[in-house]
């Protein structure tokens, strides 16, 4: 039975073992947090689209991201409804810059307002469509339960929420219930109302004096079996100067691409992830180099006995693998707890998905293996006779 030398080397000293686990775990946590903030930037900004069900999305060509307020005429969405392959269309209207909400006892703040017909066909969650339908009957609205506390909404107490005195653009409004969306880097809170309620608070929206003439986001549902790409191609020819048409996946990818490439926030978090990887590699290298230096006489003895470089490479790679494992597991557990806490405190979408866990594990394993191989160079170059 072969002695697990790599594991015994790593666990020979309990204090050094814990120190090694802490060092690698810190690097893992740093990478997880940078990747988490970066993905929160992306996920939070496309979360609004995830509320709605659509195969194809129509927006103004000037709308370079979801937070920008660029609109197109309802006429083009109606034209799209007449196209072959289209089953139904829905209009989403948004307002932020001209939407000010004031809860009694709190300061007035700008807030994002979304409006859509309460048609279950255009909602990913049927219960949300039902809640909006009930609110529509009462000429009231739904409030995002993850809105910042500074607004003053009693989102955790339904009875108190309905009794609150709230004004939107100087007009009293009733809060019927809550829904879940989340904040992002541009919006601290959201109200959801029906298209029938919307013009009561934003009559100034359109130059034609009909506030419903303009649409922010067009939702298009297709008939079964219809190719989305073909419909996108057909609708794109309606009027390229007035509307841009995307499949749902392409629209989400466009939004993520904007925030990752065109904003300093996305770039900063990307650099932060790389810095976390570099810090972790330095920590791992120092751990491995110190361990090899301290055990140089023993390793020299093995080398003098005829063990070749392949054996030492295997030894250090296994030690690097164990090092990655003992640092990754506690780092993952702490990350899971921090993600949950930050999501509750900030309202941002902090998702710890399996692909993201696999990415950080790959980076962790890679940095440990590379660091181990770099640290091994000293042993490879050493003459056994000079080490005694």
Same-domain check for residues 362 and 270: yes
Is residue 2 scored above 70 in pLDDT? no
Q: How far apart (Å, rounded) are the C-alpha atoms in residues 300 and 332?
A: 37
Residues 204 and 236 occupy one common structural domain: yes
- Binning pLDDT at 50, 70 and 90, where does residue 93 land? very high
Element (H, E) at 90: strand 86-95
Q: What is the DSSP letter of 210?
A: -
327: left (phi over 0), alpha (psi -120 to 50) or beta: alpha
3-class DSSP state of 195 = coil
Query: What is the percent of the chain where pLDDT is above 70?
Result: 97
- Count the domains in the chain: 2
**Which one-letter DSSP state was computed for residue 180?**
-
d(CA 182, CA 188): 8
**pLDDT, position 172:** 94
Taking the C-alpha atoms of residue 272 and residue 304, their distance in angstroms, rounded to an integer, is 44
Helix, strand and coil content of the chain, in percent to the nearest 5, comes to 55, 15, 30
Task: State the pLDDT at residue 294.
Answer: 79
Q: How far apart are CA 330 and CA 291, in angstroms?
A: 22
Q: Are residues 235 and 286 in the same domain?
A: no
Rounded Cα distance between 45 and 65, Å, is 9
* Same domain for 152 and 30: no
Q: Are strands 86-95 and 72-73 parallel, antiparallel or unpaired?
A: unpaired
Please write down the HEC assignment for all residues of 211-268.
HHHEECEEEEEECCCCCHHHHHHHHHCCCCCCCEEEEHHHHHHHHHHHHHHCCHHHHH
What residues make up the domain containing 145?
50-261
Using DSSP bridges, classify how beta strands 190-193 and 56-59 pair: parallel, antiparallel or unpaired: unpaired
Same domain? For 82 and 146 the reply is yes
Q: Above 60 in pLDDT, residue 387?
A: no
Residues 6+ positions from 341 with CB-CB distance below 8 Å: none
Spacing of C-alpha 294 from chain mean position: 44
Last residue of a domain, one of 227, 261, 295: 261
Choosing from 229, 244, 261, the residue where a domain stops is: 261
Non-local (6+) Cβ contacts of 192 within 8 A are: 113, 114, 115, 116, 132, 141, 142, 143, 144, 179, 181
* Separation CA 333–CA 270 (nearest Å): 22
pLDDT at 8: 82
Separation CA 153–CA 219 (nearest Å): 30
Q: Residue 302: which H helix or E strand, with range? A: helix 296-304
pLDDT band at residue 136 using 50, 70 and 90 as cut-offs: very high
Whether 102 shows a pLDDT value over 90: the answer reads: yes
Name which of 168, 221, 222 is nearest 190 in CA terms: 168
Residues 270-289: tens digit of each pLDDT: 888 888 888 888 888 888 88
Question: In which band, very low, low, confident or very high, does the pLDDT at 266 lie, cut at 50, 70 and 90?
Answer: confident
Are the C-beta atoms of residues 16 and 323 closer than 8 Å to each other?
A: no
Instruction: Tell whether the model's pLDDT for residue 258 goes beyond 80.
Output: yes
- Claim to verify: residue 67 and residue 130 sit in the same structural domain: yes
Are 240 and 276 within one domain?
Answer: no
Phi and psi (nearest 5°) for 145?
A: -70, -15
Contacting residues for 260 by C-beta, under 8 A, at least 6 apart: 38, 42, 266, 267, 270
Please check whether residues 135 and 211 belong to one and the same domain: yes
pLDDT of residue 388: 52
Lookup: tokens for 242:
């007035």
pLDDT over 90 percentage in the chain = 52
Which one of 234, 261, 288 terminates a domain?
261
pLDDT mean over 217-244: 92
**Average pLDDT over every residue of 292-319:** 80
Q: Are residues 194 and 230 in the same domain?
A: yes
Give the residue with greater pLDDT, 377 vs 383: 377
40/180 same-domain check: no
CA–CA gap between residue 272 and residue 29 (Å, rounded)? 12
Q: Whole-number mean pLDDT of the chain?
A: 88
Regarding whether 205 and 326 lie in a shared domain, the answer is no
Whether residues 120 and 221 share a domain: the answer is: yes
Neighbours of 169 (CB within 10 A): 18
158 pLDDT exceeds 80? Answer: yes
């Amino acid at each position: 039975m072969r002695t697990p030398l790599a594991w015994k080397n790593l666990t020979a000293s309990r204090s050094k073992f814990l120190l090694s686990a802490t060092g690698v775990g810190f690097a893992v946590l740093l990478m997880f947090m940078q990747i988490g903030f970066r993905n929160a930037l992306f996920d939070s900004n496309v979360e609004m689209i995830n509320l709605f069900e659509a195969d194809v999305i129509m927006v103004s060509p000037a709308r370079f991201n979801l937070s920008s307020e660029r609109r197109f005429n309802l006429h083009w969405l109606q034209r799209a409804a007449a196209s072959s392959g289209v089953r139904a269309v829905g209009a989403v209207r948004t307002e932020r810059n001209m939407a000010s909400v004031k809860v009694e006892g709190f300061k007035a703040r700008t807030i994002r307002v979304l409006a859509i017909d309460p048609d279950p066909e255009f909602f990913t969650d049927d219960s949300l469509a039902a809640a909006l339908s009930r609110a529509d009957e009462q000429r009231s609205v739904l409030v995002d339960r993850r809105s910042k506390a500074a607004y003053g909404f009693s989102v955790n107490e339904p009875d108190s929420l309905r009794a609150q005195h709230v004004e939107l653009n100087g007009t009293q409004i009733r809060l019927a219930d809550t829904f879940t969306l989340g904040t992002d880097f541009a919006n601290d809170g959201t109200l959801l109302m029906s298209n029938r309620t919307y013009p009561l608070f934003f009559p100034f929206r359109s130059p034609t004096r009909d506030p419903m003439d303009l649409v922010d986001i067009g939702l298009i549902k297709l008939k079964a079996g219809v190719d989305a790409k073909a419909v996108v191609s057909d609708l794109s020819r309606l009027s390229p100067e007035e509307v841009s048409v995307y499949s749902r996946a392409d629209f989400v990818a466009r939004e993520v691409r904007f925030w990752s490439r065109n904003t300093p926030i996305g770039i900063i978090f990307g650099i932060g992830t790389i810095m976390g990887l570099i810090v972790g590699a330095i920590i791992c290298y120092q751990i491995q180099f110190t361990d090899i230096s301290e055990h140089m006489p023993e390793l020299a003895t093995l080398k003098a006995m005829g063990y070749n470089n392949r054996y030492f490479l295997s030894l250090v790679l296994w030690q690097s693998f164990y090092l990655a494992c003992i640092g990754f597991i506690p780092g993952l557990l702490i990350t899971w707890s921090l993600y949950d806490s930050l999501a509750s405190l900030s309202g941002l979408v902090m998702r710890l998905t399996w692909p993201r866990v696999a990415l950080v594990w790959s980076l962790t394993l890679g940095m440990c293996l590379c660091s181990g191989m770099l640290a091994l160079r000293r042993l490879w170059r050493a003459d056994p006779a000079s080490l005694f």
